C-alpha cells in the first residue's frame, strides 16, 4: 500500500505544470526593476549587462513563441536604450515600463498554457 501511494505521489508531482523555464528570467526582471526603482536613471553599461543577462535567460525558454516574443522585446530594449542611445544614462521609468511588459507577457503565456 505504501508503495502504491508513493508511486502515485511521484507521478502527480512530475505531472504538475512547471514554470521553471520562466522563473529565472522573471527573477532577473524583478531584480532589475528593483534596481531601477531606487534611482531615476541607470548607467548605460549596467543596463547593457543586465539586459544581456535577461536575453541569455530568455533564450533558454523551450517554447518558440514565448522565446521569440521575449528575446525580441529584449533585443529592442538593447537597441533603443543601449546601442542607439548616445547618452551615458537611461531614464529608469522608460526601461521599467518595458520590464513590466515582459512580466505581463510571462503571465499571459502561463494563462494560455505555455510554461516552458
DSSP strands (E only) in the chain:
41-43, 89-91
* Tens digit of each residue's pLDDT (9 = 90 or more) over 59-94: 999 999 999 999 999 999 999 999 999 999 999 999
For the chain, the domains span: 19-111
Q: Is the pLDDT of residue 14 over 50?
A: no
Distance CA(47)–CA(52), nearest Å, equals 8
Residue 3 pLDDT? 53
With cell 523555464, the residue in question is: 21
Q: Are 77 and 51 in contact, with CB atoms under 8 Å apart?
A: yes
Tell if the pTM clears 0.85, that is, is over it.
no
Higher pLDDT, 12 or 105: 105
Distance CA(110)–CA(29), nearest Å, equals 16
Q: Are 67 and 61 in contact, with CB atoms under 8 Å apart?
A: yes
Amino acid at each position: 500500500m505504501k508503495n502504491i501511494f508513493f508511486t502515485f505521489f511521484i507521478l502527480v508531482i512530475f505531472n504538475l505544470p512547471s514554470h521553471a523555464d520562466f522563473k529565472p528570467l522573471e527573477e532577473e526582471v524583478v531584480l532589475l526593476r528593483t534596481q531601477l526603482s531606487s534611482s531615476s536613471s541607470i548607467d548605460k553599461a549596467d543596463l547593457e549587462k543586465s539586459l544581456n543577462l535577461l536575453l541569455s535567460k530568455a533564450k533558454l525558454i523551450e517554447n518558440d513563441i514565448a522565446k521569440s516574443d521575449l528575446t525580441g522585446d529584449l533585443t529592442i530594449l538593447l537597441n533603443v536604450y543601449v546601442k542607439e542611445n548616445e547618452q551615458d544614462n537611461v531614464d529608469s521609468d522608460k526601461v521599467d515600463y518595458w520590464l513590466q511588459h515582459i512580466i505581463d507577457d510571462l503571465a499571459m503565456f502561463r494563462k494560455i498554457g505555455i510554461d516552458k
